Amino acid sequence: MVTATITRIRRHGIAVIALLACLAISITATAQANPRYAAIVVDVESGEVLHAANADATRYPASLTKMMTLYLLFEELEKGTMRLNQPLPVSAQAEAMPASKLWLKRGSTITVEEAILALIVRSANDVAVVVAEALGGSERQFGQMMTARARELGMPNTVFRNASGLPDNGQTTTARDMATLSIRLMQDFPQYYHYFSRQSFTYRGATHNSHNRLVRNYAGADGLKTGFIRASGFNVATSAVRDNRRLVSVVMGGFTAASRDTHMADLLDRGFVRASLFGRGDWVAQADFSGDRMSGDGLPAAAPVMPAGPSPELERQLASLQAPEPLPTVQPSLPQTAQGSANDPIRDLIARSEAPEAPRAETLHRLEPVGASASWGVQVGAFSNPDNARQHASRAADRLSQELFNARVDIDEVSGSQAIFRARLVNLDENQAYRACRNLAREGIDCMVINAGL
C-alpha cells in the first residue's frame, strides 16, 4: 500500500487543495503574482530538496550577501590571520554607507567579534565595508573574492559586487545558491554558527535588536539571515531542527516581513513532515517532486530512499497541517528607503530570464501501449529512475477500483540535462481521471489530473 496525499481539482474550476499537494498550487500562484518570489527547502543531512519554487531563477540577495562576507571572515579566523579581538579600522567609505548601520566614525575601530554581531544582528552596511576593506583592500576587490569563493562553494549563479547587499544591478543570486551558502556556513564553521542565533548585542552602550523574528518565534529555528532592498523584496535564509533533523530554507521576494515569515514557517512545517517520512523509509508519492538533490563540494548527495511499507500515521500528520499561507498577491506600499533604495531593474532581468523558451524536445518512452481513449490520466510522481517510476505507478494502479481497471501505466520520459521519468496512469477519459484521483485520495496517494494528450 502506498501512503501519501493528493490534490483534488473540481471540474468547475474550484480548486480543492489537500494536504501536501496544496503547497505546490499555492506556491505556483504566489510565483505568478510576485515576480520576485523564490523558495527552496533542503534536508541538510540527505541533501533532499523537499520543496523548490523558482529556485534557480535570478534574484537579488539583499543582505543575505552578508552571509558570504561572514564566510570569508570566518575563513580568516580559521587561518589565524584574524582574531576575534582584533580591531578593524573604519574608513571614510565605511562611514558614508547608508543605513542600516552602526554609525561608525572614520578613524575609529571595531573588533572582529563586534563586526560579526553587527553584520548578523544589525545588518550594518558600514561594518560590511570595514570587513571588506580589511580582507580585500577595497570593497570592489572583495566582491571579486566573494564571487570566486562562491564558485568554489558550488554557487554557479551568484555574482557579488559589494559586501553589504545594497542595490547593484549586477549583484544577483538564486535561492538554491543561498541555501548552498547557508549549509556551508554551518558545515564549515560550526564553532561560529551560534552567532546567527543572537537576537541582540550592545555596542558602545547602544543595544541593537535582530530583524530575524523567526529565530524567536519558530520552534527549532536557530539562525541565519534576513535581507531587504526594494528590488528584492523581503528575503530570509533560515535553519531549523526538529527531532534531530535539520532543514535549511530560503524564501525570497516577500512583500512584507510578516508574510515572508509566515510563509517560511509553513514551508518548514511541511518540510519536516515530508523529511520525517522519507527518513523512516515511507514513500510519499510526488506529483510535483522529481527527486531533486543539492549537490556540490561539501553538500550531501545520498542515494534516494527506496520505498517501503505504508505508514498509518501519514494522513494524521499531514492533516494536522493547514494549507500553507501564500505570500500576498497584491504588493503593499514598501518603505521608501531600507538599506538603500533604487528602481527595480530586476523586473527586466526576470523578464529576460523567464522569457518563453523555444519548445524543448521531449522523448516519450511508453512502457505499455496507450489506447485510443488515453487523452486523460493522473500523474503520481516524477523520478530520476524509470524502474522506480514504473513501480510506483503500478502500486497506484493496484489501488484503483474495478471500474477504473482500464487505466494503464505510462512512463513519460522528459529528456534534458538529467532525464526525468513521470509516473502516470492513462487511458482514462476526463471523468474517470478525476474519479481516479478521488479514489487515490482515499488511499492517501498524491496525484494530479493531466491531459496526457498534450
CA pair distance 380, 440, nearest whole angstrom = 10
Grid look-up 530560503 returns 250
Strand ranges (DSSP E) for 230-288? Answer: 233-242, 245-254
Q: Pick the catalytic residue: 26, 46, 63, 91?
A: 63
Cα–Cα distance measured from residue 252 to residue 366, given in angstroms and rounded to the nearest whole number: 39
Give me the torsion for CA of 414, 419, 425, 429, rounded to 10°.
-10
Tell me whether residue 375 is one of the annotated catalytic residues: no
Compute the distance between CA of residue 407 and CA of residue 437 in angstroms, rounded to an integer. 12
- CA–CA distances in Å: residue 417 to residues 303, 403, 413, 420: 19, 39, 12, 9
Q: Under a CB-based contact definition with an 8 Å cutoff, are residues 78 and 112 in contact?
A: no
Q: Which residues pair with 428 in a beta bridge?
A: 376
User: Which of 66, 91, 210, 375 is the catalytic position?
Assistant: 66
How do strand 245-254 and strand 233-242 relate by DSSP bridges? antiparallel
DSSP 3-state of 41: strand
- Which residue among 26, 46, 100, 123 is the active-site one? 123
Instruction: Please say if 290 is a catalytic residue.
Output: no
CB 354 within 8 A of CB 57: yes
Helices (H) and strands (E) in the chain, counts: 13, 15
Catalytic, 66? Answer yes
Which residues are part of the catalytic machinery?
63, 66, 123
